[in-house]
Amino acid sequence: MGANSALEHAPSVTTPMDPWLVQVDAYAVNATLAIVAVATLLFLAHLVARKDVFRTAGNFAMGLGAVASLVALVSRYVYMIRIDPHFFPMSNLFESIMFMVFSVLVIYLVVERKFRPAGFGLVSAGLVATVMSLASLLPDRLRDATPLVPALQSYWLKIHVTLMMISYAVFFVSFVAAVLYLFFHYRDRFFSPKAVGAAAANTLKAPITTLELLDELTYRMILLGFPLLAFGIITGGLWANHAWGTYWSWDPKETWALITWLVYAAYLHVRVTREWRGAKTAWFAVAGFISVIVTYLGVNYLAEGLHTYGKLL
Amino acid sequence: MPTETEVAAEISGPAAYDRIRTSFVRFWSSVKLAVVLILAIAIASTIGTIVPQGEPSGVTNIEGMSERTKQILLSIKAYNVYYSPWFLSLLALFFLNLAVCTYVRVWPRLQFALTRPREIPVAARDHMPEQQDLSGAAVEDVATELRRARFRVFPASDGGLVADKNRVFRFAPMVVHLGLFLILAGGITAGLMGFKNSFPLVPGEAMGVEQAMKEAKTRGLLTPKPADFKVRLDKFWMTHYDDGRVKQFYSTLSVLRGDKVAHTQTIHVNEPLEYEGVYFYQSFWGIAAQKLSVARGIKSEIPMNNQGGTSIKLSGWVTSRLALGGRELFAYTSGISRPWYLLDMQSLKSLGELHTDEDLAVAGHKLRLGEVKTLPGLGSVKLRIGGETRTVPVESANRFKLSGYISRQLKVGEFKVFLYVESPDAELQVIDLDSFASLAKVPLGASAKVEGVDIAFLDRGHSAETGGLAAVDLIQDGERIGLRVIDLASTGFRVQAPSTETTEVGGRAVIMMQNTEPPGMPLWIIDAHDATALAILNPGESQKIGHSTVRWDGPIYFSGLQTKSDPGIPVIYAGFFIVILGTLMGMFSHQQVWVTIDANGCRLAGKAARGRYLFHQDMTRLRQRVLDASSKGNKQWAQTPLSSTHRA
């Protein structure tokens, strides 16, 4: 028993659906995990054998993975809109993870084409495979497609949640770049300090090092994610104002989204000051992504609010 | 990139330098300070996500935290962090920092933007991060390709070129800062000139806007008086999904000016009504009253005044669980000859009353009430105190609002005690008369020492009256299923739901409770004195309570509306838009390029604000295009293939 409110999430119930599309959805989800796991192995092979063919194959696998995750989302959308015309494949934790994985894979392919950073494929594929594996362990009530409660029946849902998830995906990629930066930075520091000293003495017009590339990639990703996140938070506010008259109520999820935005704003300002360069800014980027994880998943365990949709316990 | 101070000094002269030198300005225009303040606000904001906001009880109710920590949290107003003086001061400092930063930088930046790109000495060009060798290229071709790449190209005094691109995007931070100030202004306007309130309406009821504003908890000092009108609820209804969950709920509202209906509109969640700058949102719903019919058709509506919920520790007996049709069920009764109800364990939904003479259909099975086995009541207990055997009479403890049996006072050694037994088959408790402390608990057949005196519990003496329920049989599809029965006095079984006040039905004082979720919950009618559930009714069902037969005709719903007025909205929305614009602008890089002519052709030096790599790719492509264009051009005059001269 408990209190009632328009804002509470109703318990999930499986509703009868078109069996063929359900199969397609399930296969596509499993295929995504399998393909990305294979990509990880291919990138590992590239690391060991140093043959370009492995990297190309890995990238091809990542592309296939993007297609598979898209198929999963589209099939889910098609069979659910017959039951609920307002449906959008991001109404629970699992669906939002699938969308984020799709976005990450697309961004990966674009970045790989333009930048080709060292180790990028391996870390990206590895992390995506990890995320997919954890997602497959989610309980049914967070996976099943469910019709929307009244508060979610709005076109704003599509805009707000999509923007937030895309921004998370972009920050995910910035996190990969930052992690790679830190790896190479500390590896060089501990294993070849003399080379580091020599590199520092180079003039600015020396060829661009891996570290510089990763630093710029992290920066560029955050420059992209920052407006997306701002837009996501703002559309959340616009929607809240339209639905119940308050554009900001210091709800834990709203607040953490703002905290994430503030951490990335601090990152951007830190880059302006000369003194904090290199590894320190990379750590800032890592801190920003931790904030993203808290915003996305952690708030479901904190004080109750409008957004406690995906509690795992 | 030259620092702001250098630019300012160069463009505006020493006066600007002095201005910046003032230590107040220097401190408050620091970007490092901005980083510190931004992070401080971020960390401070996390407090409100961990401590429930609203009432001080949000802090005091935290489990597992020391009193000292709680006191600290209370003193910093952790339960209302975002409106606490220190948090607001932090925000004020941040905006001060933002204002001074922007003020110091905006003028030099404007001047930088409005003048031509500067030429820099050749020596400085060699230190630029981007270098391209354009040997064999004509400077006109370079100019053409630069323009094609959307650079603004100017001839330099030495015959070369100076060019830049995306200059306006240097203002991205300024734009974002402007947007933040608009958001601040909008927020202050809302706080000063807006109001917000929520209220329930039953069909037919109306609420005046002026009254809503007066009663609002959030109302600004300068809030203007709203127009004189009322909002009346004409109709309220809900739609459901197939499984019974609420799909959407709707209210038809009429705006009344005086007695005339000025406007009618149906609203639902996410679709509000706006009238004269005041908004009405469909926000929540609930049960306003319960409809009952008593014999002779007397109907009454009992208001559900305790929306927050009443919590009652229920008395009576429940059976052990029964699994049927994929659900876990159990049966409940409030007394020995009282009706038995079959309930769902998880939702406490009533599946109906169990009878001995007719079947209850549940999930394809037929259930009937079988034999009810009672415990014999307790009349006395036989003890050996010290060496002496005594039989002590006990009586029902009901009149002390306890379950079980109680004796008169006894003397054990120097102590005055009495005996207590929770139920006819429970252990004996020896309780001190003055302090009510439990001195001993003695199971049947055992003994214990109380202050040196040995007490042995020898036997029970039964009375003629029944003492309670022991077990009950249910007959499922003809088969007998024996279930244990547990006295709720010995376990804690709390029900909590929105409820009525204590009312009189059939001569008995009762409280009625009904929950709204999950859908289709029954009405519980609970005796106010002994906390037994006298009836658990589904809509339309009847039960004899006291001297009346009562039928439940269902609930009356109310529509929950949220109303507000906020003149700051246009300002805040403008701020939102400008912040997004500014952050998008930040994605583009200001690029500067200097082209020098030398003996072999041209040389390009340049830099970009957002990083080298992509700029390098662009410049490499540009170089290729320039060389292609120049070689085509040169083909016309390449009489002497060894010559690589070009027209200056």
Note which residues in 149-178 of chain A have CB less than 8 A from chain B.
149-151, 153-154, 156
Q: Which domain holds residue B78?
A: 4-110
Put simply, whether A128 touches B (Cβ < 8 Å) is: no
> Within this chain, do residues B10 and B139 fall inside the same structural domain, yes or no?
no
Helix (H) or strand (E) holding B561: strand B548-565
Nearest Cα to Cα of residue A213 among A111, A285, A121, A117: A117
State ipTM.
0.86
CB-based contacts of B152, cutoff 8 Å, min separation 6: B117, B163, B164, B165, B167
Asked if A224's CB is within 8 angstroms of B586's CB, the reply is no
- Contact predicate B50/B44, CB 8 Å: no
Final residue belonging to a domain, choices B444, B462, B480: B462
Tens digit of pLDDT for each residue in B465-523? 777 788 888 888 888 988 888 888 777 788 888 889 899 988 889 999 998 877 778 89
- Whether B521 is covered by a domain: the verdict is no
Residue B165, pLDDT > 50, answer: yes
Digitized pLDDT (tens) for each residue of chain A, 313 residues in all: 333 333 333 333 444 556 788 888 888 999 999 999 999 999 999 999 988 999 999 999 999 999 999 999 998 888 887 777 767 777 778 888 999 999 999 999 999 998 888 899 999 999 999 999 988 887 776 666 666 677 777 788 789 999 999 999 999 999 999 999 999 999 888 877 665 555 554 444 566 788 889 999 999 999 999 999 999 999 999 988 888 788 888 888 899 999 999 999 999 998 877 667 778 899 999 999 999 999 998 877 665 444 444 433 3
Residue B221 lies in a domain: no
Whether B384 maps to a domain, the answer reads: yes
Residue B377: CB partners within 8 Å, gap ≥ 6? B396, B424, B462, B463, B464, B465, B466, B467, B468
User: Contacts of residue B614 in chain A, CB cutoff 8 Å?
Assistant: 114, 216, 220
Across the interface, which of A216, A244, A246 has its CB nearest the CB of B611?
Answer: A216
**How open is the CA angle B421-B426-B429, to the nearest 5 degrees?**
40
Asked if residue B229 is part of any domain, the answer here is no
Identify whether B36 is part of a domain: yes
Helix axes A252-272, B31-50, angle to 10 degrees: 160
To the nearest whole angstrom, how far is the Cα of B127 from the nearest Cα of chain A? 7
Rounded to 10 deg, the angle between the A279-296 and A155-191 helix axes is 150
Facing B517 at nearest CB: one of A4, A212, A265: A4
| Residues of chain B with C-beta less than 8 angstroms from the C-beta of A302 | 49-50
The answer to whether residues B27 and B161 belong to one domain is: no
DSSP assignments along B389-414, one per residue: EEEEEEEEGGGGT-SSEEE--EEETT
Q: Is residue B84 part of a domain?
A: yes
Cβ of B309 within 8 Å of Cβ of A216? The answer is no
Q: What is the CATH number of the domain that holds B148?
A: 3.30.160
Q: In chain B, whose CA is at the least distance from the CA of A227?
A: B583
Q: Catalogue the long-range contacts made by B331-336 (C-beta closer than 8 Å, 24 or more residues apart).
A: B331/B472, B331/B474, B331/B483, B332/B533, B332/B536, B333/B469, B334/B527, B334/B532, B334/B533, B334/B534, B335/B532, B336/B372, B336/B374, B336/B466, B336/B468, B336/B469
Based on the domain organization, do B486 and B369 belong to the same domain?
yes
* Residue-wise pLDDT tens digits, B170-217: 899 999 999 999 999 998 888 888 888 889 999 989 999 888 888 887
**Which residue, of B477, B492, B507, is where some domain finishes?**
B492
SS3 B448: strand
Q: Quote the number of domains for chain B.
A: 4
Same domain, B360 and B432: no
Instruction: Work out the burial of residue B541: count CB atoms within 10 Å of its CB; fewer than 13 is exposed, 13-18 middle, 19 or more buried.
Output: middle
Residue B70: enclosing H or E segment and its boundaries?
A: helix B67-75
Judged by CB atoms closer than 8 Å, whether chains meet at B270 and A153 is answered as yes
Residue B368 lies in a domain: yes
Task: Please report whether residue B535 resides in a domain.
Answer: no
* B479 and B618 fall within a common domain: no
A residues 216-235 lying closer than 8 A (beta carbon) to B: 216-217, 219-220, 223-224, 226-227, 230-231, 234
| Per-residue CA distances from A14 to A93, A146, B339 (Å) | 16, 7, 35
Nearest alpha carbon to residue B524 among B245, B302, B367: B302
pTM given for the model? 0.75
Does B320 lie in the same domain as B455?
Answer: no
B633 and B603 in one domain? yes
Task: Calculate ∠ Cα B566-B568-B573, nearest 5°.
Answer: 110
Total beta-carbon pairs less than 8 A apart between chain A and chain B: 183
What is the token pair recorded at B538? 């589904």
Same domain, B105 and B8: yes
**Same structural domain, B623 and B475:** no
In tens, the pLDDT along B366-400 reads: 889 988 888 788 888 898 988 888 888 888 887 77
Residue of B nearest to A5 (CA): B284
B404 and B423 in a common domain: yes
What would the pLDDT profile of B551-606 be if each residue is shown by its tens digit?
Answer: 999 899 999 999 988 888 999 999 999 999 999 999 998 999 999 988 888 889 99
Locate tokens 């001047």: which residue?
A: B111
Task: Identify the sign of the CA torsion B17, B23, B28, B33.
Answer: positive
Of the candidates B35, B127, B495, the beta carbon closest to that of A269 is on B35
Whether residues B370 and B473 share a domain: the answer is yes
Q: Which residues of A touch B612 (CB under 8 A)?
A: 208, 212, 216
Task: Give just the sign of the alpha carbon dihedral A76, A80, A82, A88.
Answer: negative
Instruction: Provide the shortest C-alpha distance from residue B27 to chain A (in Å).
Output: 14
Return the H-helix or E-strand segment holding B377: strand B365-385
Minimal Cα–Cα distance from A231 to chain B, Å?
A: 6
pLDDT tens for each residue of A216-236: 999 999 999 999 999 999 999
Do B146 and B66 lie in a common domain?
Answer: no
Cβ neighbours of A291 in B, within 8 Å: 42
| Cross-chain Cβ contact B38/A5 below 8 Å | no
More confident: B529 or B66? B529
Least Cα separation, residue A298 to chain B (angstroms) = 11
